[in-house]
Amino acid sequence: MPGHPLLRLLRLARPLRAQLLISVLAGAAATGCGVALLAVSGFLLARASLQPPIVAISVAVVAVRGLSVGRGVFRYAERLSSHDAAFRVLADIRVAIYRRLERLAPAGLADFRSGDLLARLFIRGVGPLATAALVGGGVVAACLLILAPAAAVLAAGLLVAGAAVPALAVALSRREARFTAAARGELSTALTDLLSGAADLQAFGAQDGALRAVAAADDRLTALARRSAAAASAGSGLMTAVSGLTVWGVLILGVAAVSAGTLTRVPLAVLALTALAAFEAVTTLPSAALALAGVRASASRISAVLDAPDPVAEPALPRPVPAGPVTVRLRGVQVRYQPDGPLALDGLDLDLSPGRRVGLLGPSGAGKSTVAAVLLRFRDPCGGSVTLGDAPLASYDSDQVRTVIGGCLSDPHIFDATIGENLRLARPEATDEELAGAAGRARLLPWIQSLPQGWDTRVGPGGAAMSGGERQRLALARALLAAPAVVILDEPTAHLDPVARAALTADLLRVTQGQATLLITHDLAGLEQLDEIIVLDQGQVVQRGTHHQLMRTEGRYRQLHAPGS
Ligand SMILES: Nc1ncnc2c1ncn2[C@@H]1O[C@H](COP(=O)(O)OP(=O)(O)OP(=O)(O)O)[C@@H](O)[C@H]1O
Ligand SMILES: [Mg+2]
């Protein structure tokens, strides 16, 4: 859905257009009440000074009361509906962005701040513009009825204040608007890096440099904010000057008309006060224009995320995923991470049928995790075929695929929550017994039971309060709890000591018995229990067969087992 980033944001708000229209009308009514209040008050004061009978001004007295109450009520309605609509759209955009990020970087996180953005677009950008147009037009029309030349001066003044001054403010801060969103992103990236990498920075004595980088990013943002504040204040100063000059113009024309006898004194008071009040409708326009300019830059960033090419194509009509045991078949699968990049995987054949366990070996960068990414539908192959059951893997919804094909990725993420919550992520409805069962099979239960707070122990950001091996076992328990039909375990024994490795590998081979399993590993113990071993190198299969077959042939696998290798 390409197009101008701002129009695109507005398109996202289309389902709420009725509500946004209500908020614009209520805003215009509130400002209109304010202008009318001053006009009627002017009439009331001028008329009352002539000491008429009370009946002559009673309508105006009631109108003053009505308008002052109406102004509050309309303003409340406007705020309520515009904020409500903005936050609803915000929620939709957040979900859309999150879905995109999830697809683009399944294991990655991105900082994304759009709350401010949406509030600025709807509440401080579009609303004031519409209000100014409606109220300004109405006021000029009303003044035309009193004195046409004065109405013309007022129209000119409002146009200058509502169009020229905001345009000038935007021109003055064009550079700032363009760079502020990026500078804010830079600062938060630098800060996140500083905080999450604090231990490493300190270990290498690099904390001063990192602090300086944050301070520099902060300075850049502050300088930009200062310059755009200067532009905004120049705008509001000019606004005051224009409104003063316009009221003077209206007064001069009005007084001349009174002297010429074409206008009486009471309408003159109404005219002057109306002109003064009319500027209430345009005073927020310079900051609205600046807000829109800022939103435009942020909207472009959102569009960049939403328009990024999809690493996996979702089917228009996804078929239901098969229940129960199922076979996954890869034939001649090729994967490229960049359109013109090298093949990370080149012609892989693989069968994962119920009960069959396959080991995937190979040096770092061989393409092992890439196989996992294809199976989990984080990435579509550029060649070959992948089928789940009888149908192409691409004909299923990728989220649904991951309920059938699951497991534990290399570098699993542990959330800053309790152990129990981290486990339940895999199956929120799991019973305590199921939780304990999965933790037991991953040999994590004794450790959990030894903790004073047991399942309720918080593990800190990224599982900081756990050892590498405990994190690995927690991730494994999570994979076991989800109980997918096809299990993928990407280096489940990384970070463990040799004894724990051997123990966990033995456990793994025990718990995956009878289950379709892909075991990606650098470990050689227990491989004889697998039905097939595939050795990858630079994306290509260099050897495949059972442990015994491979040990009988000269090749990479036997070299791996050679003493001292
Ligand atoms: N997201 C990515 N973008 C670009 N290239 C990638 C990406 N992920 C992996 N690669 C590249 O694809 C190749 C295969 O990577 P892969 O992660 O599959 O290796 P691996 O066999 O799992 O290695 P390791 O044993 O170190 O985990 C590597 O050359 C790697 O640099
Ligand atoms: Mg890997």
Domains in the chain (CATH in brackets) are 5-306 (1.20.1560.10), 328-561 (3.40.50.300)
- Name the β-bridge partners of 519: 359, 489
Residues with CB under 6 A from ligand 1: 337, 344, 362, 364-370, 410
- Which one-letter DSSP state was computed for residue 106? T
Q: In this structure, which residue's CA is closest to atom 9 in ligand 1? A: 370
Identify the segments of the chain with pLDDT beneath 50. Answer: 1, 106-115
Helix (H) / strand (E) element for 154: namely helix 148-159
List, in sequence order, every beta strand (DSSP E) within 362-439: 383-388, 391-392, 405-408
Count other Cβ atoms within 10 Å, centred on residue 462.
Answer: 13
**pTM beyond 0.75, yes or no:** no
The DSSP result for 24-91, as a single string, is HHHHHHHHHHHHHHHHHHHHHHHHHTT---HHHHHHHHHHHHHHHHHHHHHHHHHHHHHHHHHHHHHH
CA of 562 to the centre of ligand 2 (A): 23
Query: What pLDDT was estimated at residue 1?
Result: 43
* Closest ligand to residue 365's CA: 1
CA-536 nearest atom, ligand 1: 21
Which residues contact residue 2 at a Cβ distance below 8 angstroms, ignoring those fewer than 6 apart?
Answer: 8, 303, 307
HSE value, Cβ hemisphere, 13 Å, CA-based, for 526: 21
Q: In this structure, which residue's CA is closest to atom 24 in ligand 1? A: 364
For ligand 2, an ion, list residues with CB under 5 A: 369, 410
CA of 275 to the centre of ligand 1 (A): 68
Distance CA 269, CA 467 (A): 79
Q: Which of 343, 350, 368, 408 to mutate to test the pocket of ligand 1 (most atoms within 8 A of CB)?
A: 368
Distance CA 154, CA 141 (A): 10
Query: What pLDDT was estimated at residue 386?
Result: 94
